[in-house]
Structure formats: C-alpha cells, structure tokens
Chain A
Amino acid sequence: MQIDKNQLLRFTTAGSVDDGKSTLIGRLLYDSKSIFEDQLSAVENTSKQKGIEGVDLALFTDGLKDEREQGITIDVAYRYFTTPKRKFIIADTPGHVQYTRNMVTGASTANAAILLIDARNGVIEQTKRHAYIASLLQIPHVIVCINKMDLVEYKEEVYNDIIIQFEEFSSKLYMKDVRYVPISALNGDNVVNRSENMDWYQSSPLLNLLETLHISSDINKIDARFPVQTVLRPQRDEFRDYRGYAGRIASGVYRVGDEVVVLPSGFTSKIQSINAGDKQVEEAFAPMSISMTLEDDIDISRGDMILRKNNQPDASQEFDVMMCWLNDTPAQDRAKYTIMHTSNEQKAMIKEVIYKVDVNTYNRITEDKNLNRNDIFRAKIRTTKPLMIDPYKSNRITGSIILINDQTKETVAAGMII
C-alpha cells in the first residue's frame, strides 16, 4: 500500500433496515476483506440461531444491546475499512424521521453521502428526507444507490426511471455532485465487484467510485481562516519569549512571512514561524493542526482568529441560521444559550424563528414555530459580542455553530450560517 499518498474519505449512510443499508455496509466490509475471522464466526453463529442460511451481512453492523434487541440503529455508529487506495470512515445513521438529529450529526463531517433507494419502490418520502439533509449539510458528493436490482430483474428501465424521479425533486436542492449506481447489496452486484447481471451499466461499481471521488478540493483553500485554540508559552529558558498560537487551520493556506490581521483586535503582524508538531514548516494548509509565532508581541487568546488583511469574515452579532433542534427538551421562547463557533464562545439567544421545514415535502411551516427534537428551522440569532462568521456554503468550519443549554450543559441545537 502506498500509505504516503492515501487519503481519508468519510461518508454517511442513512437508511432503514428495509433498504438494505446494513446489508450494504456488511457487503462493503466483507468484500473488501475488512471483516476478521472472529467477527465472521460470531455473525455466522447468530445467523444460525436466527435460522438464517449462510451469513446475514446486516449483523456486522450490530451495536449496543438495545439496538440488537430492537434490530435498529439508534445512534451514529462509526465503522472503518481500508482499501489499497483509501481509508474510509462510515458514519452509519438510522433513517427514520425521529432520528433526523443523528443523520445531521453523521452528515456534518462527511465528504460523501450514500442514499439508498429500493428499486421496487422508487423515490419515497425517506429518500427526499435524506437528500434534504445531505443538501442542508452540504455534503460535497452524493451517491444514489438503487438497491435490490435483483428484485426487478436487473432492468435498466427501472434504474433510468428512478434517476428521472430523483432529478425531478432534487432540482430544488443544492447538490454539487450526484452519481447513480444500480446495485444488489445482497448479491454483491456493483458494490465491490462489477455486476455480471447489468452489462448496460458502464460506470464504476460503488467502491471504485468511493475510491476515486475527487475530495482534495472539498476543503476551501482560498479563504485563510485560523481560529486560535490555545496559546503555547513554554516555561523553558531556550523559549523564553515564545508565544505559539495553536489551532487547526479551518481553511486556506498560511506561509511564513505572510502579513496577517488578528480579529477582533484588528492588530496586524507577520508570520514569523509555523510549526507542525515539532517540525518547522514554510507553509501550512487546512485541515492541519499547527502553531505559529508572529513577529510582533500582541495580545492574542483563544477564540481570536488570525487572517489575511484583504480576506476577512463578517464580524456579526445578528445573523440567520438553518438549524436542527437536537434536544428532547423543546426550545424556550427567547431563552439564552451558550453559542460555540470555532474556538469562540459567547452568550446568544434565538431572536426569531422564521420558519420550520417539513423535511419530507420541503414546505415551509410558518404557523407552528415551536421547536422540538429533530425540527429543522431557520432562525435569527443574536450574540452578546460579534462572531467572525462565513456562510456555511463557503466554509463548513467557520460557518457552523452549536447552542448549549446552560442549565443542563447539553448541546441542544446545531446551525449552519446563511
């Protein structure tokens, strides 16, 4: 394996037991030889106990006690596999509407989303919901897998009809890159290996697609954004005046010698050195964790952002956000929360709920503005001090926020800045 070049791809799979989601993941793990013998024999035993002939691939994704008992996924489960070309992280999420918040969570870090459609049923309400979430969270690549092709005699017309259905409703959504693959997860057609039953399909099987998606340009490399996480001040003689500003570059590229401005103070300076771990480097880019020193001694702390003079985010105290309510306790009117945005923390309130979204029909609801768990809505947020924000569309890191309830300390909502 050429480890030194292989990239990491994170993808999400949303779906329910009936779409064959677990079977698909099991198939990917099994055919890519990512299943160990002891896992295999445990699954073989359970399959036998359940009276299933052969191996029930879906059992490979079994999780917590309650999930096994109820045969469902409750939470986001992460699975891993590697091929000679890439390392993959699957965020496996449940598909029902009462788990919208889990889907949103899994989607927040994904490079790609796999949407499963049962070839017999075509586009259904659930498909629309999953597509909406993929578009809301701006997952850069969407792969629509039309599954159970074996049950429709591998017919090309069925596949083409579903593509037309999908394109029709998804034209209302913002999706950059959509691919379609006809598969049978149960039999393995076009999952890892090319199907012999569908010679009319000329493009890549699913795994090959995942291995070759172009993801290098998914991260914004233009707008330099460096939120300071912490300041390194070694108490050692050889580093007496050392102040390293440590953080993970959210986007863009930084080079030694660059002129920078620090917000919110507005002080300017030049980058003196950049460290990646214990090594000095000349330049660094997102998503590297680095520390940098500046030529001038200025006061910088956690929550500040180091930027280029001519490319700055908006400093704003009031902005519109698309949000998902995550908590069991509904939102209180004009309640105050702690807002987390990059490494910054302020107090905030939801000033106004503008509308809620019906995730199945995409209709806007303006008559009922109560916020319950799983609700997707647009709101106006006001903070006590300005945040340095970008639209989520151009920056997933500086464009996202969460709200924390100060009484329970729980994360109650997640938002994407418009």
Chain B
Amino acid sequence: MSQYYLNYLDELESEAIYILREVWAQFQNPVILFSGGKDSILVTHLARKAFYPSKIPFSLMHVDTGHNFPEALQFRDNLAVKLGVNLIVGSVQKSIDTGRVAEEKGKNATRNALQITTLLDAIEEHKVDCAIGGGRRDEEKARAKERFFSHRDDFGQWDPKNQRPELWNLLNGKHFEGEHFRAFPISNWTEMDVWNYLTREKIEIPSLYLAHEREVVWRNDTWIPNSAFLKLEPNEEIVKKKIRFRTLGDITITGGIESDADTMEKIVEEVSTMRQTERGNRSDDKRSETAMEDRKKEGYF
C-alpha cells in the first residue's frame, strides 16, 4: 500500500464501526433495531466487524407488525442463531390484543404508526438505553437532520429543533434515567453505497430483494404482494410479475417494482439508473409532506 487513503466505502465502514464502538462504550444496554431489511442487516454485519473476534455485544430487537414477509422472519431467526446473538421481539399484535393501541380503520389502514407504541414499550421493558437503527439521511428529509447519537426524552420523543450539536467525532450519549438514544451508524450511506457494500462484502440478504416471479396486485401506483392479509377490492386482480422489493416493510403496504435484477450485481446496476427514490413505494411516507417527521417526533425509527 503506497498511498495512505481510504476509498469512500472503507471510510463509511470505518465511521460506522467507530460509532458502534462508541455506543458500546457509552451505554449500558444497547440493542440493534432489526427489521430483516438490508439496512439493519448491514448494521449487524458492521457490528460483527466492529467487535471481532468478540461476539456482537448487542441484542437484536425486532418490532413485529404481524404483517411480515414470512421470508424476512426466517432470515431474522437464522441470522440471530448464526451470530449467536439474543433476539428480542416486540409484537404489535400483542399491543393490539392488550388494548395498548387500536388498529387503524379504512382501506389504506396500516400498522405502521402502531409500531411506535410497541417499540417504546419494548425499549422500556428491556431497559434499553440506546437503540441502534439503520436509518440513513438520504432516505427522507426528516432523516436528513438526524444526528449519529439522537436524543429521545422519557416519552421517547424527538425534538428536531433542539438536537445536540455533533462536532468532529465527539459523540455525547449522556442522558437521564428513563431517556434513551437512537444511534445511526450508517447515516452517511446512500442506497447506492449500501448496495455496493453488500455486493463487495458478499453479505447475504433475503431473496425478496432479488427479482423473482411473484403474485402481486396493482394498488396505490405500486405492486403490492399477495399475502394472507391482502383483501382484494372489486376492481383488483392478482397477477404474476417479475418483481423485486427495494425496501421490506409492512407487507400490506410495501410495493415492489418490476425488475430483471436477480443478482446483486444487476441490482447495483439497476439502482444506479433508478429514477425513483427508495421509499417512493412506501405508502406510509406518502400520507403527507411531513409524514416521516411527524412519526419520528413521536418516537418512530
């Protein structure tokens, strides 16, 4: 090595590892918020590198909406076993059954907002003082304002106008009892960076991200997958298409795109020419101009 500089992926990796180690050093009981999506898989992989040869010192915490892609759940369980980490599952269904939250009504009802209560309950129950997330600043304009270490008050709320300044690499995770932090080690990664890195490192992801023949229905300008939760409207019909998903969320609202990208390399190529943002297929973000900001203030990821 004659020239001492890092390429941008190595620099992003180094930054993320630094943040993960800082979380470990500054908090008592941190967890990784794990959805089974590519971003939380990436964070978990980075945590493995950060603490090697030790095991990942964090539990994985999954907020289960009950509306999952079955494959994502399988993937989650396998990964936890493979890495030897503890898995905590917070169940939205349980929150509904115990009356903590009520199911939304209407045609476009989702369990998206209900996750907030389940998440905050799980954080409280397990005395979590830092929840590590795979949020990226390029995803959405409210996320563009997130800190690496993002303070939450004792109601789990985010105050975007009163955030702690973060200078150089000095991260302040000090907090009062009952408050917690969210940490975002891959803040500075874009969707493209994530795909390039996953490909380079040969990291396994759920095959839902790869194009495959799938049963879908056209709704809200996107291809919604067939599932046990799908109720067909009179004018709708299930068709077979070659589909892949750019994000994995609540199965009832996460739309797929028509694609031929059935290898990681093809995805990288496809994403680089993609003209729609990743969350463009998530109807939870389309509800209003500030949908994400509003949910985040309440305690969303």
Q: Which residues of A contact B (CB under 8 A)?
A: 1, 3-8, 36-39, 62-66, 68, 74-80, 82, 86-87, 89, 101-102, 104-105, 108-109, 215-216, 219, 221, 229-230, 232-236, 239, 242, 244, 246-248, 253, 275, 277-278, 283, 285-289, 291, 302, 326, 338, 340-341, 343, 396-397, 400-402, 404, 409-411, 414
Contact of B170 with A400 in the complex, beta carbons under 8 Å: yes
A278 and B49 alpha carbons, distance in the complex (Å): 6
Proximity bits, B208-222, A CB within 8 Å = 1, else 0: 000000000000000
Across the interface, do B165 and A105 meet the contact criterion of CB distance under 8 Å? yes
Whether the Cβ atoms of A326 and B165 lie closer than 8 Å is yes
CB distance from B158 to the nearest CB of A (A): 11
B10 to chain A, nearest CB (A): 8
Does A7 contact B5, Cβ atoms closer than 8 Å? yes
Evaluate contact between B53 and A77: CB separation under 8 angstroms: no
Q: A87-B193, A105-B166 are in contact. List 17 more A-B contacts (CB 8 A).
A: A4-B7, A7-B8, A36-B275, A36-B277, A64-B141, A75-B163, A80-B188, A86-B8, A219-B5, A221-B4, A287-B15, A288-B6, A288-B14, A400-B170, A404-B172, A409-B174, A414-B167
The A-contacting residues of B in range 50-72, CB under 8 angstroms, are 50-55
Would A216 and B138 count as touching, CB distance under 8 A? no
How many residues of chain B get a CB closer than 8 Å to chain A's CBs?
64
Asked whether, in the complex, the Cβ of A289 is within 8 Å of the Cβ of B14, the reply is yes
- Kindly supply a per-residue 1/0 record for chain B positions 158-191, scoring 1 wherever the CB is within 8 Å of any chain A CB and 0 otherwise: 0011011111111010111000000000011010
Q: B147 → chain A, closest Cβ, in Å?
A: 9
The distance from the CB of A148 to the nearest CB of chain B, in whole angstroms, is 27
Pair B5/A39 contact, Cβ less than 8 Å = no
Cβ-closest chain B residue relative to A86: B8
27 contacts between A and B (CB under 8 A): A5-B7, A8-B8, A36-B276, A37-B275, A38-B277, A38-B280, A63-B142, A64-B160, A64-B290, A65-B290, A76-B145, A77-B141, A77-B144, A80-B190, A86-B8, A109-B167, A109-B168, A215-B5, A232-B51, A232-B54, A244-B53, A248-B14, A278-B48, A286-B4, A287-B6, A409-B172, A409-B174
Identify the closest chain B residue to A107 (Cβ).
Answer: B167
Which residues does chain B contribute within 8 Å of A6, judged by CB atoms? 7-8
CB distance from B159 to the nearest CB of A (A): 11
Asked if residues B144 and A78 are in contact (CB atoms below 8 Å), the reply is yes
Within the complex, the shortest CB–CB distance from B162 to chain A, in Å, comes to 9
Residue B9, interface by CB 8 Å:
yes
Q: CB < 8 Å: which of B4, B54, B200 contacts A234? A: B54
Give Cα distance in the complex from A1 to B277, angstroms.
20
Q: Which residues of B contact A (CB under 8 A)?
A: 1, 3-15, 17-18, 21-22, 24-25, 48-55, 137-138, 141-142, 144-145, 160-161, 163-170, 172, 174-176, 187-188, 190, 192-193, 196, 200, 272, 274-277, 280, 289-290, 293
How far, in whole Å, are A37 and B11 apart by their CA atoms in the complex? 29
Given contacts A7-B5, A234-B53, A248-B18, contact A63 B141 (CB under 8 A): yes
Cross-chain contact B21 with A246 (CB below 8 angstroms): yes
Q: Which chain B positions have C-beta within 8 A of A289?
A: 13-15, 17-18, 21, 50
Cα separation A297 to B55 with both chains bound (whole Å): 22
Contacts of A283 in B (CB 8 A): 1
Cβ–Cβ < 8 Å partners of B145 in chain A: 63-64, 75-77
Given contacts A36-B274, A65-B290, A216-B5, contact A396 B280 (CB under 8 A): no
Q: How far is the CA of A287 from the CA of B5 in the complex (A)?
A: 8
Residues of A near B280 (CB, < 8 A) are 36, 38
Chain A residue at minimum C-beta to C-beta distance from B278 = A36
CB of A101 within 8 A of CB of B9, answer no
Residues of A within 8 A of B18 (CB): 229, 248, 289
Contacts of B169 in A (CB 8 A): 109, 248, 397
Report the bound CA distance from A289 to B185 in whole Å: 13
B144 touches A232 (CB 8 A): no
**A233 to B53 CA separation, bound complex (whole angstroms):** 8
A107 to B274, CA, bound (A): 32
> Which residues of the partner chain A approach B290 to less than 8 Å between Cβ atoms?
64-65
Contacts of B52 in A (CB 8 A): 232, 275, 277-278, 291
Cross-chain contact A3 with B168 (CB below 8 angstroms) = no
Quick check: A277 and B49 within 8 Å, CB to CB? yes
B180 to chain A, nearest CB (A): 13
CA distance A288 to B7 in the complex (A): 11
CB-based nearest B residue for A37: B275
Contact A8 B51 (CB under 8 A): no
User: With a CB–CB cut-off of 8 A, which chain B residues contact A230?
Assistant: 21, 24-25
The reply to whether A246 and B53 form a contact with Cβ atoms under 8 Å apart is no
Residue of A nearest to B279 (CB): A38
Least CB distance from B165 to A in Å reads 5
* A78-B187 in contact given A36-B280, A37-B275, A253-B4 (Cβ < 8 Å): yes
Query: Contact between B161 and A338 (Cβ–Cβ < 8 Å)?
Result: no
**B141 contacts across to A, CB distance below 8 A:** 62-64, 77
Contact A400 B168 (CB under 8 A): yes
Within the complex, what minimum Cβ distance (angstroms) separates A62 from chain B?
A: 6
CB pair B161 A64 closer than 8 Å: yes
Q: In the bound complex, do residue B192 and residue A402 qualify as a contact, i.e. CB atoms below 8 Å apart?
A: no
Q: Are A75 and B170 in contact (CB under 8 A)?
A: no
Q: Say how far A386's CB is from chain B's closest CB, in angstroms.
A: 18
Nearest Cβ in chain A — how far from B175, in angstroms?
6
Smallest beta-carbon distance A409→chain B, Å: 4
A405 to chain B, nearest CB (A): 9
Residue of B nearest to A242 (CB): B53
| Contact residues in A for B12 (Cβ distance below 8 Å) | 8
Chain B contacts for A278, CB-based, 8 A: 48-49, 52-53
Bound Cα distance from A63 to B196, whole angstroms:
27
Q: Please give the distance in Å from A238's CB to the nearest CB on chain B.
A: 8
* A239→B52 CA distance, assembly (Å): 11
